[in-house]
């Protein structure tokens, strides 16, 4: 496979995993219900994505910084919703 | 920050985001309940992680292949549980 196709696959992968938490945030916010969402999952995901962001800043790589910045926003909002609607 | 510390931060980030779905899989399996987990989130996450794995194989990078292989297993099991326990 050529380099351009490989880069496209990586970019689509990045967009999908970055925006995937948005429908979860929307559902949690709309239904005000989060009881089957695992709290340890949210804590590990928030810490992990935060460290990815720090890592991206340290190596100065925008393709690591940008998706992880948006994913961090989503999982942080989800964590707040989880704490609000137990 | 030195290179070794930066690599450690990246590694910890990778481990955290990779294993974060495990408590979610465990909770869904134990409680047999997944109604507040968003189906669009699971579909996007499964497709996205699958494409990350394909991308990792294409660029032949084990640090991309290994975490995404394990994350794919977790999200796939979660998707199966979501379909089973509506």
Q: What is the pLDDT of residues B16-68, one digit of tens each?
A: 999 999 999 999 999 999 999 999 999 999 999 999 999 999 999 988 899 99
Q: What is the pLDDT of residues A44-75, one digit of tens each?
A: 999 999 999 999 999 999 888 999 999 999 99
B58, A9: Cβ pair inside 8 Å?
yes
- Contacts made by residues B55-64, CB under 8 angstroms, sequence distance 24+: B55/A6, B55/A9, B55/A10, B55/A13, B58/A1, B58/A6, B58/A9, B59/A6, B59/A10, B63/B14
Out of A17, A34, A48, closest to residue B13 by CB: A48
Flag whether the ipTM exceeds 0.95: no
Structure token pair of residue B86: 């509506």
B16, A47: Cβ pair inside 8 Å?
yes
pTM across the whole model: 0.89
Q: What is the domain class of B3-84 according to CATH?
A: mainly alpha
CA distances from B51 to A8, B22, B31 (A): 10, 20, 30
Q: In whole angstroms, give the CA distance from residue B83 to residue B86.
A: 6
Domain boundaries, chain B: 3-84
Considering only the C-alpha atoms of chain B, give the largest distance between any 2 of them, rounded to a whole number of Å. 48
């Amino acid at each position: 496979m050529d380099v351009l196709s490989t880069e496209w696959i990586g970019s689509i992968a990045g967009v999908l995993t970055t925006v995937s938490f948005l429908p979860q945030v929307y559902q949690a916010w709309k239904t005000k219900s989060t009881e089957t969402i695992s709290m340890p999952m949210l804590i590990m995901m928030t810490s992990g994505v935060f460290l990815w962001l720090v890592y991206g800043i340290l190596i100065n790589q925008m393709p690591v910084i940008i998706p992880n910045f948006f994913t961090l926003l989503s999982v942080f909002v989800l964590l707040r919703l989880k704490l609000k609607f137990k």
